[in-house]
Amino acid sequence: MAATTVRGALRLSNGDAKVNPEIESERRKAEFNPEDVTYFLEGGQENTERRRALEATVFSDPAFKKQNLSFMTQEQRYTHSVGLTIKAIKKMRELDITDNQQQWWFKEAVHGSEETNLSLHSSMFLHCIYTQMTEDQQEIWLNAAFDYTVIGTYAQTEMGHGTYLRGLETTATYDPSTQEFVLHSPTLTSMKWWPGNLGKTVTHAVVAARLITQGKDHGTHMFMVQLRSMKDHTPLPGVELGDIGPKLGFNNIDNGYLRMDRVRIPRDHMCMKFSQVAPDGTYTAPPIAKLSYGSMVVIRSFLIDHVGVGLAKGAMIATRYSAVRRQSELIPGKPEPRILDYQSQQMKLFPQIASAFALLICGAQLKDRFLEYLAQTDEGNFSALPELHGTTAGVKAFTTEMASSGLEILRMSCGGHGFSAASGFPEIYSNVVAACTYEGENTVMHLQTARFLMKAVKQAMEGAKLTPFMSYITANPQERCPARNPNDFMNMEILRNTYRHRARSTVRHAAKCLEDEIRGGKSSHMAWNDNHLHLIAASKAHCHLFILDSFNRSIEGWEHQGPARTIMEQLVRFYGLHGILQNKGEFLVSGHLSVAQLDLVNKQYIALLEAIRPNAVALVDAFDIHDDRSGRSWDATTAMSTRTSTIGPSPLPSTKKMPIPVFWSGGGCIQFTHQAIPGGEPKQGPGEAVNIRRKNAKSEPIRWEVMMMVADSVKSDVRLTRFLCVC
């Protein structure tokens, strides 16, 4: 039987008993080869084949055997996750996998959408070394980080402040007599709070602290601080560390806290690529004050990709579920239709499919732009930083909100099944929604972008030349949309101009409101606070245009010609039309679009729903998410959806794994005391109640001892537990 490999899974030919005929019939409807789109997303067939080969290595290795995480405690999940990470590191060394992207693919295959343990070590910690340290410092720290001689995290957020860098309270005071910095947490609110792997795992951290030298505060700078002993892993003198406890998500990660009491580090442990402190304490400022923001830019680009993958997984689960789930009557007396045939279901699913593609493409493009920026900084050119930082702040907020709200729509599109952990949605959602607040709270991120936009408006009014993308600010406000029929909105130039005018109008309106209030006597600070509504709207309009533009430019630059290109061109236009319908007011207020044209948008939107329908399952196949990611409860092998979708939605296999004890009650109040029995060797199977026996028949109250076995999903053995019941 013919079969083609798709991300390590087999796409079986028609008629195979293992494939749900509903899914198979959906794939036969497809008008394009999903492989072509997969290659497009990953930059070519060679990259896809390499990723699949790495995944196949993981999935065939017993060391990465799948575990059900849903029934694990937080401590068990942490232990299991760290164990997987250690095995993955050893395996990558054994296979000589040194390329960053390939390492990422390998670790993602090992961990799935559960956050990869030590992810901050390989992302923010390493990037701080790359971007903020001198070559001499890099020579010391990079090798140690690559070898995992040191394990690091990034510690910026405090109990009292996070996104607001100038509010950070941790101090780093320079002592010229010893040529050391003294790191100190002067208040309870200055305690570092939230850094990943800080609670139990890391040995070092790049700490954001206020640099004080020669009696002057020079603001936030980065310092390499050793936190734990390299001999026995205990906290060093003056260092207080701990785990912050259970969270909404990421419960395999030991997010922690850090309090320092006058901890001393050598002078050369300050990150000195752009700013320096001489032995006598003399401070040299960086050429641009915000150069330290470079690391934030790269982590935001990774975040966009991260939430894009999460949204893609949700879209895949909900779409495959909708292809096999049958419900109600579309035509009286006829068989129940697939819920994917209902227009209302398509309106839930298809915008999220398009959004997932948009996020994955935008994230990839931002990574490329960051690499270009790094090359420019090596030559002393920092001109790209203001726009790069200004835009990525808002884009981070816009995309994480898009993914979070999209996942909730997808979850609800699966009815009650979407609420079950077996569906995968709770795990995916809790990990994606966290991105709305970490690495910059979203409202603050939008306001950072708004500040950049207000400066751009001022520059435009002063006659300065803006970058090609920012030139929308100077677009002619009298220009009107030329569309006369629904199909005109398939013209990407018309669609893009509609977004440009919406952004121009919204940004200009925010600037005018600010100016009017300042002229009316308000201070600039109060005027800013009183116009958050308009400023945030300006940021969202700017970011929406940026994502649409990135999505479209990527497709225009694709050399492929054929059906796959056609469906992607439909998808980017569908994404654009959906955005107009979701923000009708702003598009109408711009004056560029009329009410009559809005009706044309609606008609073309409905036409594209019909055009996308036969390709829906193939589009989520193109995300190429393997059915058998090791050890995930959220992955494509959820009870909701697999590539083969053998029996459709069925949570039964998952519920049978539940380690639920069975208690005997003779009536009245039962009091349980719980303790482990060492050395027990029960004969019954996992999950069975055993040896219920009366212990003291004559005494009152009646005492019963219930012996029970509960399967331990981490250690793959059983433990014998005694419940003493008093009736």
Query: What are 200-259's pLDDT values in tens digits?
Result: 999 999 999 999 999 999 999 999 999 999 999 999 999 999 999 999 999 999 999 999
Whole-number Å distance between alpha carbons of 157 and 138: 24
Encoded tokens for 651: 């949570």
For range 622-648, the mean pLDDT: 55
Token match 């999505």: residue? 551
The yes-or-no verdict on residue 636 having pLDDT over 70 is no
Percent of the chain with pLDDT over 90: 69
- Beta-strand pair 192-193/180-184: unpaired
Taking a C-beta distance cutoff of 8 angstroms, is the pair 616, 338 a contact? no
Residue type, 314: G
pLDDT given at position 688: 42
**What pLDDT was estimated at residue 422?**
86
d(CA 146, CA 264): 25
Helix, strand, or coil (residue 376): helix
Beta strands 263-266 and 152-155 are unpaired
> CA 718 to CA 261: how far, in whole Å?
44
Element (H, E) at 499: helix 492-519
pLDDT at residue 626, as a whole number? 85
CA distances from 300 to 286, 584, 688 (A): 23, 29, 49
Q: What tens digit of pLDDT does each residue of 400-455 get? A: 999 999 999 999 999 999 999 888 899 899 999 999 998 889 999 999 999 999 99
Q: What are the C-alpha distances in Å from 255 to residues 122, 153, 245, 420? A: 16, 10, 8, 26
Is the pLDDT reported for residue 129 higher than 90?
yes
Binding site residue list: 157, 196
Name the residue among 265, 115, 128 with its Cα closest to residue 201.
115
**CA-CA distance, 484 to 600, in Å (whole number)?**
8
d(CA 129, CA 112): 27
pLDDT of residue 336: 92
Contact 445, 396 (CB under 8 A): yes
At residue 263, φ and ψ (nearest 5 deg) are -85, 125
Strand partners, 35: none
d(CA 128, CA 685): 51
pLDDT digits (tens, 9 = 90+) for 519-541: 999 999 999 999 999 999 999 99
Number of H helices, E strands in the chain: 21, 17
Task: State residue 376's pLDDT score.
Answer: 80
Q: What average pLDDT score do residues 482-502 get?
A: 98
Tokens standing for 40? 């497009």
Average pLDDT of the segment spanning 619-623: 97
Known catalytic residue at 439: yes
Please list, residue by residue across 657-671, b when 16 or more beta carbons sit within 10 angstroms of its beta carbon and e when fewer do.
eeeeeeeeeeeeeee
Please report, rounded to a whole number, the percentage of residues in the chain having pLDDT higher than 70: 82
What rounded mean pLDDT belongs to the chain?
A: 85
Window from 153-167, 211-225, 711-725 with minimum mean pLDDT: 711-725
pLDDT in the model for residue 454: 98
Task: Read off the pLDDT band of 714 (50, 70, 90).
Answer: very low
For 148, phi and psi rounded to 5 degrees?
60, 25
In the numeric block, the tokens 């390492």 are attached to 103
Which residues does residue 175 pair with via DSSP β-bridges, in sequence order? 180
Rounded CA separation 634/622 (Å): 19
CA distance 409 to 322: 13
Specify the pLDDT at position 691: 42
pLDDT in tens, 686-697: 444 444 344 444
Q: How far apart are CA 661 and CA 158, in angstroms?
A: 42
The candidate with the shortest Cα–Cα distance to 709, out of 662, 671, 652, 672, is: 662
Q: Which residues contact 85 (CB under 8 A, 6 or more apart)?
A: 107, 110, 111, 116, 117, 118
pLDDT in tens, 272-295: 999 999 999 999 998 776 666 666
The active-site residue, picked from 439, 441, 559, 569, is: 439
Rounded Cα gap, residues 527 and 512, in angstroms? 11
The model's pLDDT over 168-197, given as tens digits with 9 standing for 90+, comes to: 999 999 999 999 999 999 999 999 999 999
Binding residues for FAD: 157, 196
Q: Parallel, antiparallel, or unpaired for β 180-184 and 263-266?
A: antiparallel
Q: What sign results for the dihedral spanned by CA atoms 517, 523, 527, 530?
A: negative
pLDDT tens digits, one per residue of 9-33? 333 333 344 678 889 999 999 999 9
b/e 296-312 (16+ beta carbons within 10 angstroms → b): bbbbbbbbbbbbbbbbb
Of 206, 219, 224, give the one whose Cα is nearest residue 283: 219
How far separated are the first and last CA of the chain, in Å rounded?
A: 64
According to the model, what pLDDT value does residue 301 have?
Answer: 79
Nearest residue to 59 via CA among 623, 619, 632, 622: 632
**Beta carbons of 203 and 230 less than 8 angstroms apart:** yes
If one compares 387 and 702, the residue with the highest pLDDT of the two is: 387
Report all structural domains of the chain as residue ranges with CATH numbers, in order of start. Answer: 63-117 (no CATH), 147-287 (2.40.110.10), 293-465+489-622 (1.20.140.10)
pLDDT digits (tens, 9 = 90+) for 306-342: 999 999 999 999 999 999 999 988 889 899 999 999 9
Residue-level pLDDT at 264: 98
- In degrees and rounded to multiples of 5, residue 330 shows phi and psi of -85, -45
Of 90 and 12, which is predicted with more confidence? 90
pLDDT at 31 (0 to 100): 96
pLDDT of residue 69: 83
Spatial separation of the C-alpha atoms in residues 458 and 473, rounded to whole Å = 10
- C-alpha dist (Å) from residue 212 to 282, 293, 613: 11, 20, 61
Q: Is the pLDDT of residue 115 over 70?
A: yes
Alpha carbons 210 and 226: distance in angstroms, whole number:
18
